[in-house]
Chain A
Amino acid sequence: MFRVTNDPIDLQELVDYVGDPEAGAIATFIGTTRNNNEGRRVIALDYDGYAEMAEKELARIGEDAKTKWPICRMAIVHRLGPVQITEASVIIAVSAGHRDAAFAACRFAIEEIKKTVPIWKKEVYEGGEVWIGTQTGQPLTRS
């Protein structure tokens, strides 16, 4: 399950999805929206996304994780549109035979999301707003 949605994300749905008789562990990561960034008070967040490509990139992250660790199943759902402070903007769930692989793949997925998935966060402050961009690497080439 690799998708973007305008609706609140249901953690249990992802956990159920990755459940597997071969699994001895399920690791989850929940990214939540914070009310501050670099000393400024954030009053609202809004995510824009290139949905079709974002879902392809999320699936690619799942494939890459499978080549790196012995995991069973992975699910990633990312929220788009306005997200209230404290709500989940992204949830990742990974099942694996053993916990080391589950934790490692979960960590890998969130780091990759921040590098390559075409989703953008806008932070709204008192009296201003800004599109957040942290990308510093050279242009990627993937096909």
Chain B
Amino acid sequence: MKVRVKFFAILREKIGAAEMTRDIEEGGTVGDLWRALQKDYPKIDVPGIRLLYAVNQSYVKPDHVLKDQDEVVFVPPVSGG
């Protein structure tokens, strides 16, 4: 199945793309997806970064199981205000 991944801020710059589609296995979690991305794009492994995970615009835990067509965002430390 396929999920859409969007990148923002430091991750967008490191990966050099704002958005991509990724194939994932049935039962794959958002944490699995992050590990797969780190393998393919070692640059996004920013030392000490603490990420939050968002699926379909809500925060989820790393063990959240993804579904086909989900929109996934890895949220670097926020700094609005």
Determine how close the nearest CB of chain B comes to the CB of A91; give it in whole angstroms. Answer: 11
A29 closest partner in B (C-beta): B81
Residues of chain B at interface, number, CB under 8 A: 26
Q: Which of B12, B53, B73, B80 has the most CB of A within 10 A?
A: B80
In Å, the complex CA distance between A120 and B54 comes to 15
Task: Produce 1/0 per residue, B43-81, CB < 8 A to A.
Answer: 000000111111001111110000000000101111111
Besides A50-B75, A119-B81, A120-B78, 18 more A-B contacts (Cβ < 8 Å) are: A50-B57, A52-B57, A56-B57, A89-B80, A114-B79, A118-B54, A118-B80, A119-B79, A120-B10, A120-B79, A131-B10, A131-B13, A133-B77, A136-B50, A139-B50, A139-B52, A140-B52, A143-B59
Question: Is A68 interfacial (CB-CB < 8 Å)?
Answer: no
- B80 and A119 contact, CB distance less than 8 A: yes
- B78 and A48 contact, CB distance less than 8 A: no
Q: Across the A-B interface, how many residue pairs have beta carbons closer than 8 Å?
A: 97
In Å, the complex CA distance between A52 and B73 comes to 12
Give the chain B neighbours of A116 by CB distance below 8 A.
59, 78
Q: Which of under 10, 10 to 19, 20 to 34, or 35 or more describes the interface residues of A?
A: 20 to 34
- A142 and B58 contact, CB distance less than 8 A: yes
- B50 and A113 contact, CB distance less than 8 A: no
- A121 and B54 contact, CB distance less than 8 A: no
From known contacts A50-B8, A118-B8, A120-B8, infer whether A110 and B81 are also in contact, taking CB-CB under 8 Å: yes
Give the chain B neighbours of A134 by CB distance below 8 A.
77, 79
- B76 and A50 contact, CB distance less than 8 A: no
From known contacts A78-B80, A118-B8, infer whether A139 and B53 are also in contact, taking CB-CB under 8 Å: yes
